[in-house]
Amino acid sequence: MKFRKTLLVSAAAFALAMPVLSFGADDPAPTPAPAQPQPPRGGGRGFGRNAVNELVSALGELNLSPDFALSQDQKSKIQSIREDFKKQSDQWRTDHAADLKKLQDQFAELRNAGADAQDKRQELDKSRQALMASAPNADEAAKQIQAVLTSDQVQKLTDEQAKLAKERQDAAARFGGGRGGQGGRRGGGAGAGAAGN
């Protein structure tokens, strides 16, 4: 029960923080192209939970506290970095839609193939990793955002990110250790993760 309350409070705080931060408050909600396949989760490569999304979420939490405030100049710079990263990610998805779809289809074919297809799965996973390595790197964009902050803000952000990471870890432990499958991917397929920035 305590976890649910914490989760609801965190979600509400984040929802309230986004207009405060003015990250896209005036922008229309993005609509994903339905025909494009969903790329796999890729570490810092901009899909699903990534360094930019996590950093902006933590900044949103912090910006609600009275002892933390982003200046208009900081907000503007952060928004610009975030928009550039999103444009790059969207373009990458468009450019590699056929490759992603092909990987999805190949993983789907192997899903019920059993142990006999282990070598083929590993080969496909290497192909997926090579493709994802060409995606825009969220870690680099997150570093650019951190460079906009003061040293005091960076320290508070680091503390907030550690707190949020611990909450995720605790939640995963309560619900059976998180995602299953090789490398934390559910189903191990190319389309296992959801895109989003």
What pLDDT, in 10s, does the model give residues 96-144? 999 999 988 888 888 777 777 788 888 888 989 999 999 999 999 999 9
pLDDT digits (tens, 9 = 90+) for 2-19: 544 544 444 444 444 444
Exposed (0-12), middle (13-18) or buried (19+): which is 24, by Cβ within 10 Å? middle
DSSP 62-104: HHTSTT----HHHHHHHHHHHHHHHHHHHHHHHHTHHHHHHHH
Q: How far, in whole angstroms, is CA 186 from its chain's centroid?
A: 16
Is residue 153 a contact partner of residue 68, using CB atoms and an 8 Å limit? yes
Whole-number Å distance between alpha carbons of 33 and 114: 33
Sign of CA dihedral 78, 88, 93, 112: negative
pTM of the model: 0.60
Alpha carbon 15 to its chain's center: 17
Each domain of the chain, given as residue ranges in start order, spans 1-7+43-96+135-179, 97-133
Q: Quick check: 153 and 145 in contact, CB under 8 A?
A: no
Residue pLDDT, tens place only, 137-162:
999 999 999 999 999 999 999 999 89
34 CB-contact burial (10 Å; exposed 0-12 / middle 13-18 / buried 19+): exposed
